[in-house]
Structure formats: C-alpha cells, structure tokens
Structure 1
Amino acid sequence: MLRHQTPGRALAGRSRAADPVAPPTQPDLPADPPAVPADPNPVRILAGPRIVRHGPRDVPLTRIEYDLLLFLAEHPRRVFTRRQLLANVWGYEHAVARTVDVHVRRLRAKLGTDTPLVTTVHGVGYRLADEARVEVDREH
C-alpha cells in the first residue's frame, strides 16, 4: 500500500537528514569523587575482657562477630576467602560460605561507622579496610 505524503512532511524529513550531526557532549563530571570523611572515633578491641568500643560506647557483639573482627584486625591488608575465615574464626570449613556474609553484614550494622571497617573484595572474600581505625589492646 502506498502512503501519500504531504510536501511539508517530505521536505522536513529531507532537511533533518541534511543537517550535520553535532558530536555528543560529555557531561561535566567532578574531577574526583568526594572523599568519605574519616571516622574520628577508632574502634578499640579490648582482648582480655572481649569488649569492643566505638568512641565512648561499648558495642555488644556475639562471640563470632567479636572473633571475626579481632581476626581481621590482627591481619590488616590481607584478604581472606570465606573458607579461610570459616576455618580460622569458626574453626571448621564445612558450613555454608554465606554464613560469613551474614556475620559481616551484622558486624557492619552494629559498628555503624561512617567508613566501613570490613571491605568486600569481590570474587575473593573480605579484609579490614585500609582506612579503618581499629586498635587491639591486649593489656586489658
């Protein structure tokens, strides 16, 4: 079936096709993303009484959450797989690896710092964040 075009429509179509196409412009992006402010209150792990303090408050942690934080704090800048964490913190490897994810999520929520203490290394596991201010006090 033939479609009848009005002369104005055909002319408008031809004139749009003849216009040079302007190159796409890049949106103005900031030079660097804004830095996350460092948390002024360090997390302090008192190894003797098994207490974790964030600033002036004590943070109630379960045994596993405490052991997980202490283990990562004792091995800064080292990445651990879920299996390694299960073996070193839980004491066995024959558990669902996602158990580690749940405990890390709960630990992050309880500590509630502006900068995350535990960093996810995608496809590998977890480590203590570079910017984390964690002190282990074995004297108490």
Structure 2
Amino acid sequence: MKCNIYFLTLILLAFTSCKINQKKQDLPVGLWIYKSVSSDEVNIQKGRYNNKGQQKGTWRYRQNGKLYRKEKYRDSIVTITLYHPNGKRSGQGKAHYIEENNSLHFYYNGLWKIYDIKGKKEANKHYEYGILINTQIIEK
C-alpha cells in the first residue's frame, strides 16, 4: 500500500512540475532561474518569460540569499523596488522598456522615491526617458 502511494505521488509530481529554463524558437519561455557564483557571492535571478521571450510578472534578484531588487512587469511598464542589505526598501519607481530597431531600450521614468537605511524617505527623483530631471531632498 505504501509503495502504491509513493508511486502515485511521483507520477503526480511529474505531471504537475514546471520545467525550468526552457526555450521555444530560441527564445526563453516560462520559469527561468539564473545563478552566478563567484568567490565571495552567489547571485540568483528568478522570474518568467512570456511566449515572445519578454519578462513578465514578478522577478526577484538575490545576492547571497538576500533580496536586493524586485521587478513587476506589466505590459511595457516595470515597477522596481530596491532594497538595502538590511532588507529595508532603498528605492522605488517605474521604468519603461520599448523595442526599437530589433533592440530593447530600458529607462527609468517618472517619480522615484529614495529611502535611507532605516526605511525613511530621504529624496524624490524625477526621470524622463532615463534622464534625471531633478532631485528633491526631504528634510527630516
């Protein structure tokens, strides 16, 4: 009886598990996990690609197990949250990406909120098409 339950569990897992790092017509699709290891750090990126090979949904970037960047893709707009090593938010804003002449352009746009190491807002930055227009320091 235990053998049958074990066998059925294995079959169920085989049919429901998601394949990782798959390509279709030379484009990444589905769940992808990138890992790079150097002598003093391990970087991991995890997220999904749509059928056109474009990032979608939420992507998480970790360095030595700690989250340092999160990106949420929706159409051509990306909401980015950056984190200090202590886990507190260090910045948040939006970016846009557009495809021109078979290349992808990614740039910050609009209001970016900047936070100190304690998580308190310290500045606002305004970008237009990747160019910093102004910075407003928040008085404490």
| TM-score between both structures, scaled by the size of structure 1 | 0.22
Q: Give the helix-richer structure, 1 or 2.
A: 1
| TM-score between both structures, scaled by the size of structure 2 | 0.22
Higher RCO (Cα < 8 Å, 6 or more apart):
1
Q: Give the strand-richer structure, 1 or 2.
A: 2
